[in-house]
Amino acid sequence: MDLLSNLALGFATAASPANLLFCLIGVILGTLIGVLPGIGATATIAMLLPITFQLEPVSSLIMLAGIYYGAQYGGSTTAILINMPGESSSAVTAIDGYQMARRGKAGTALAVAALGSFFAGSVATLLVALFAPPLTTVALKFGAAEYFSLMVLGLVCAVALAHGSFLKALAMVVLGLLLGLAGTDIYTGAPRFTLGLPELADGFNFVALAVGVFGIAEILRNLEGSQGSREVLGQRLGGLFPSRADLRAMVAPMLRGTMLGSILGVLPGGGAILASFGSYTIEKRLSATPEEFGRGAIAGVAGPESANNAGAQTSFIPLLTLGIPANPVMALMVGAMIIQGIVPGPNVATEQPDLFWGIIASMWIGNLMLIVLNLPLIGIWVKLLKVPYHILFPIIIAFSSIGVYSVKGNAFDLFAVAAFGLLGYVFLKLRCEPAPLLLGFVLGPLLEENLRRAMILGRGDPSVFLTRPISAALLALTLGVIAVMLMPRIRRKREEVFVAED
Amino acid sequence: MRDRTFDPTDVAAGVIFILLGLAFGFSALGLEIGTSLRMGPGYAPLVLAGVLTLLGVLILASGLRSHPDEAIGPLAWRGAAFLLPAPILFGLTVRGLGFVPALFLATLLAAFASPRMKPWQALALAVTVTAFSTIVFSYALGLPFRRFGPWLAQ
């Protein structure tokens, strides 16, 4: 069986001492930033991206992946202990996890979250291993038209899953696409949107944009008001190990959460977040005691935690098979691959099997490391929660500056960080999500290139997008997403009208 | 807030998107548009700029028709005043002064973005961060920075 030999190759790659070390560094960093509020996985990976250029491609991607799923674990720790989700996807965990902690069952809540995450991570990794290769064969049949349609689907999904206003999310995608087009036109060499600056000949620096819009903007938001002191419920964690009854209560939600998360993770745009919210809703509806939810229900921790971790793993599927990022973190991974000289896409699996399978195997190893890091060592992370924010953010600024500068040794990129930081903060205040902007920025040049190529191949006839079956199916799916997206909106609008009339 | 008849966040967002759309569109006019068969460098930018402007108009319109649902909240003036210049300062001085002094100054500047930071704390933090980064990034990872630049050579 091919899968076994491939997995063997993967584990051989991932288990080399150097890669084990980078995986460990990745998951420790991930847990750290997950625990520390006010700094997310996207900003951290953006900051560390330049530093990984010195590493082997496999090692750097293993480490970056570790940061990402490590942050999902760490985020739940703060959600449970201080009712403050370190990552947006663990916001749901805070609802019942914190209530469990207040009842003196913090240890159980942490254990349930960690075990659920580990189970979901393992299953989802297996799913990636099972489904990525066949999808790769499909992806090899993709031409320019299919890629274009797929990216349109991806961007529409990103808009559909963004919080808040649909129009604003759409505008952010379009703005991202425009920013992505800046630089030298690949066909004619004409400079576009460069403002006459030679530094913009290669376009805006991706790392500068990500650090500014996600990192700096978020710090500014945290600096807004009086920072209330955080109450840490770490004094007595209670027993770590769940009782038999607790274990029995968590099995079914864990399985359902894993399934839901695995499916939603593949979709572009914040799959992990949607998965945890979706799982919470499902568990509440299926529960025999729905009134327990919000007062410390185990299912309310086990389900969403499994769902967000499964989603984090399966969001690697579109990246590894198509080279299309499903969320901002995956967009950064695309950036990391390109800078390492790897063209993300279906060819990675055949041309660099050790890289492809090494990353997959490392995810399982990383999940194993995380459960060790999180359960016995929980005390250390709890202490870290007491680091005040005003000590933290100058360190983040310093590392960001170093990270951005080391990409090209270019002072202009640092000015861009400040500009994008301001822009990102303004957009945050105006309740415009930055995630669609970053996805648009990454996909902009790809989208345009494939559009132009498809039109040339189709001799200027736009029906090429509809006559090729895969492309037509993808566009039909896009329309379906738009239709679904509009339906509940119409319903909600109606409800608002009803409320207003009362 | 009931007396306001428009949502200031939507209105502001709409205006910003319109301005950005017009700026991109104006800039794209100078580029060759081409035909749909052979699209020139200006084709996609012009279409996208048009869409962005249109979305801006729609957001503005919906903002004018709705009530504000949430206050904008306090603004991080002090944060912005100290934080945003920090990477700029680093960029301006990293070549001339070198990595070590540039990082020290940038961290020190950023530290004052929070009113809770006491001067001696900021100084200690900047020294620690600079020392740590110099050891990790310059010595251990071997990033090609000049630790002390030509401005200090005299």
Taking chain B (154 residues) in runs of 10, the rounded mean pLDDT of each run is 70 94 90 81 91 94 79 80 92 90 93 86 92 85 80 74
Q: Most A CBs within 10 Å: which of B27, B66, B84, as the mutation test of the A interface?
A: B84
In-domain check, residue B1: no
Cβ separation of B79 and A448 shorter than 8 Å? no
CA dihedral B27, B31, B33, B37 (to 10 degrees): -130
The answer to whether residues B61 and B99 belong to one domain is no
In-domain check, residue B38: yes
The answer to whether residues B141 and B88 belong to one domain is yes
Q: Is residue A67 within 8 Å of residue A26, measured between CB atoms?
A: yes
Using CB atoms, pick whichever of A177, A402, A422 lies closest to residue B48.
A177
Q: Which residues pair with A292 in a beta bridge?
A: none
Q: Is residue A80 within 8 Å of residue A91, measured between CB atoms?
A: no
Using CB atoms, pick whichever of A227, A394, A411 lies closest to residue B94.
A411
The answer to whether residues B50 and B107 belong to one domain is no
Predicted local distance difference test score (pLDDT) of residue B51: 95
- The ipTM value here is 0.91
The answer to whether residues B84 and B117 belong to one domain is yes
Predicted local distance difference test score (pLDDT) of residue A271: 61
* Residue that finishes a domain, picked among B65, B90, B111: B65
pLDDT band for position A176 (cuts 50, 70, 90)? very high
The answer to whether residues B59 and B82 belong to one domain is no
B2 shares contact with chain A (CB less than 8 Å): no
Chains A–B, number of C-beta pairs less than 8 Å apart: 202
How far is Cα A103 from Cα A297, in angstroms, rounded to an integer?
A: 11
CA R_g for chain B: 24
Positive or negative torsion for Cα A127, A129, A130, A131 = positive
Length of chain B: 154
Q: Is residue A42 within 8 Å of residue A214, measured between CB atoms?
A: yes
Using a 10 angstrom Cβ sphere, with 0-12 exposed, 13-18 middle and 19 or more buried, the burial of residue A154 is buried
From A418's Cα to the closest Cα of chain B, the distance in A is 5
The answer to whether residues B109 and B49 belong to one domain is no
Chain A residues close to B113, C-beta within 8 Å? 219, 223, 393-394
Which amino acid is located at A385 in the chain? L
Question: How many domains in chain B?
Answer: 2
Q: Which residues pair with A417 in a beta bridge?
A: none
**Range of B58's domain?**
8-65
pLDDT over threshold 50, residue A497: no
The answer to whether residues B61 and B92 belong to one domain is no
Question: A438 or A240: whose pLDDT is higher?
Answer: A438
The answer to whether residues B91 and B121 belong to one domain is yes
pLDDT band for position A194 (cuts 50, 70, 90)? confident
**DSSP type of residue B153:** -
Please state the φ and ψ torsions of residue B39, each to the nearest 5 degrees. Answer: -70, 135
The answer to whether residues B49 and B94 belong to one domain is no
> Residue A140 belongs to what H/E stretch?
helix A106-140
* Residue that finishes a domain, picked among B18, B34, B65: B65
Query: Which of A166, A167, A194 has its CA nearest to residue A179?
Result: A194
Q: pTM, whole model, 2 decimals?
A: 0.81
Predicted local distance difference test score (pLDDT) of residue A239: 67
Helix, strand or coil, per DSSP, at residue A202: coil
pLDDT digits (tens, 9 = 90+) for A280-308: 888 888 888 878 887 888 888 888 889 88
Using CB atoms, pick whichever of B62, B75, B111 lies closest to residue A224.
B75
Cβ separation of B48 and A452 shorter than 8 Å? no
Predicted local distance difference test score (pLDDT) of residue A388: 78
Q: Is residue A121 within 8 Å of residue A313, measured between CB atoms?
A: yes
Query: Which of A120, A428, A164 has its CA nearest to residue A275?
Result: A120
In-domain check, residue B147: yes
In-domain check, residue B2: no
pLDDT over threshold 50, residue A171: yes
How far is Cα A300 from Cα A100, in angstroms, rounded to an integer?
A: 10
Predicted local distance difference test score (pLDDT) of residue A179: 93
pLDDT digits (tens, 9 = 90+) for A314-353: 888 888 888 878 777 888 888 888 878 888 888 887 888 8
In-domain check, residue B70: no
Query: What count of other Cβ atoms lies within 10 Å of the Cβ of residue A8?
Result: 12
From A277's Cα to the closest Cα of chain B, the distance in A is 23
How far is Cα A245 from Cα A43, in angstroms, rounded to an integer?
A: 40
In-domain check, residue B3: no
Positive or negative torsion for Cα A82, A83, A84, A87 = positive
Tokens for A42? 């996207």
CA distances from A22 to A27, A98, A152, A497 (A): 9, 32, 35, 55
From A459's Cα to the closest Cα of chain B, the distance in A is 6
Query: Which of A395, A428, A211, A221 has its CA nearest to residue B77?
Result: A221
Chain B residues close to A414, C-beta within 8 Å? 87-88, 90-91
How much of chain A, in percent, has pLDDT values that exceed 90?
Answer: 8
The answer to whether residues B61 and B112 belong to one domain is no
Cβ separation of B37 and A459 shorter than 8 Å? yes
Q: Is residue A439 within 8 Å of residue A328, measured between CB atoms?
A: yes
Q: What is the mean pLDDT of chain A?
A: 81
In-domain check, residue B96: yes
pLDDT over threshold 60, residue A230: no
Q: Is residue A268 within 8 Å of residue A157, measured between CB atoms?
A: yes
The answer to whether residues B86 and B134 belong to one domain is yes
DSSP per residue over A271-300, as a string? HHHHHHHHHHHHHHHH-S-GGGTTS--SHH
> How far separated are the first and last CA of chain A, in Å rounded?
65
The answer to whether residues B38 and B81 belong to one domain is no
In-domain check, residue B71: no
pLDDT band for position A161 (cuts 50, 70, 90)? low
From B5's Cα to the closest Cα of chain A, the distance in A is 15
